[in-house]
Amino acid sequence: MQKIAVLTSGGDAPGMNAAVRAVVRRGISYGMEVYGINHGYEGLMHGQITLMDAGSVGDIIQRGGTILHSSRSEEFKTDAGQQRGIDELRRKGIEGLVVIGGDGSFRGAQRLSDKGFSTIGIPGTIDNDISGTEMTLGFDTAVNTVLEAIDKIRDTATSHERIFVVEVMGRHCGDIALWAGLSGGAESILIPEVNVEITDVIHRLLEGNKRGKKHSIIIVAEGVCPASEIAQRIKKEAGLDTRVTVLGHVQRGGSPSAFDRMLGSRLGAKAVDLLREGQSGKMVGIQRNRITEVDFADVFTIENDIDLDMYELSKTLSI
């Protein structure tokens, strides 16, 4: 394989640039030509494909977002759109593609592979909702961003003796809420994977008040319900002074952590190695600190379970 390409698709995640850098420089080390595709699958269909060199990925490992930019494409979900993308790749003589993104991006990558075009995926999403890998690219940075916010919010919560409900991202996965909540000492953590009655949260708050506790942090994953609903219930049923903070897209930005820079570098290099070996239709991931490979079919069919032991631990430590 002499020519490969790389694109980023879907939501951006810290560490994507580290992965792009690794793909480009690993490929060059093998004597390959490496192309960058701008604006994801949409850019692929429109031929936004540029030859990259070692210098084009210099000074990016520390940057958040993605230098290749990203987008979502409805047209690429169609057979015609996918074939159009393959035609653009083959027009430049490109033989393999690395796709960095989440579940939707991988479904597009699988279809390219099914149509005979060699494709490898790198899990890049802050949500940590991809099966077959313990960590997705960007998750560690997002958790640390949330944790920094929790620490600051706790200062003002203590000063004013208030309850703060903090809403975090994650779609239908509660990992960001769980990891940041446990690390930040949140009094309650609400995640989609565990059904918790608001009355139980209120009960814990009132019990804490009886012990003299005047402030608390409640973390709610966006997949549960809006934080405003939780706050309204607490004010109405417990009469406690409550405020809401929705962290939003600040969680997707920022300089990647050391872990995400390392992970992006390792995954990017492994993706190139697999293409060089003639493999396709696989995702590279990490298990027990070892870089592994998983078929796309398994990624889509194996359930991505949350660590319920961590959840139980959070309840024990937040009394």
Is 311 inside a domain boundary? no
- The verdict on residue 27 lying in a domain is yes
Q: Is the same domain home to 110 and 182? A: no
Which CATH number covers residue 284? 3.40.50.450
Q: Are residues 45 and 110 located together in one domain of the fold?
A: yes
Residues 9 and 132 in one domain: yes
Q: What CATH number should be reported for the domain holding residue 211?
A: 3.40.50.460
pLDDT tens per residue, range 46-90: 999 999 999 999 999 999 999 999 988 999 999 999 999 999 999
| Structural domain count of the chain | 2
Feature table: binding site for ADP: 21-25, 154, 185-187, 211, 213-215
Mean pLDDT, residues 119-141: 97
What domain range includes position 219? Answer: 139-253
Q: Do residue 248 and residue 147 come from a single domain?
A: yes
Binding positions for ATP: 11, 72-73, 102-105
Q: Is 127 labeled as catalytic in the residue annotation?
A: yes
Q: What pLDDT digit, counting tens, does each position of 246-298 carry?
A: 999 999 999 999 999 999 999 999 999 999 999 999 999 999 999 999 999 99
3-state secondary structure of 294: strand
- Type of residue at 23: V
| Beta strands at 216-221 and 188-190: parallel, antiparallel or unpaired | parallel
Tell me whether residue 40 is in a domain.
yes
Choosing from 12, 127, 129, 140, the catalytic residue is 127
Binding residues for substrate: 125-127, 162, 169-171, 222, 243, 249-252
Are the CB atoms for 106 and 271 separated by under 8 Å? no
Q: Are residues 134 and 181 in the same domain?
A: no
Asked if 218 contacts 165 with a C-beta cutoff of 8 angstroms, the reply is yes
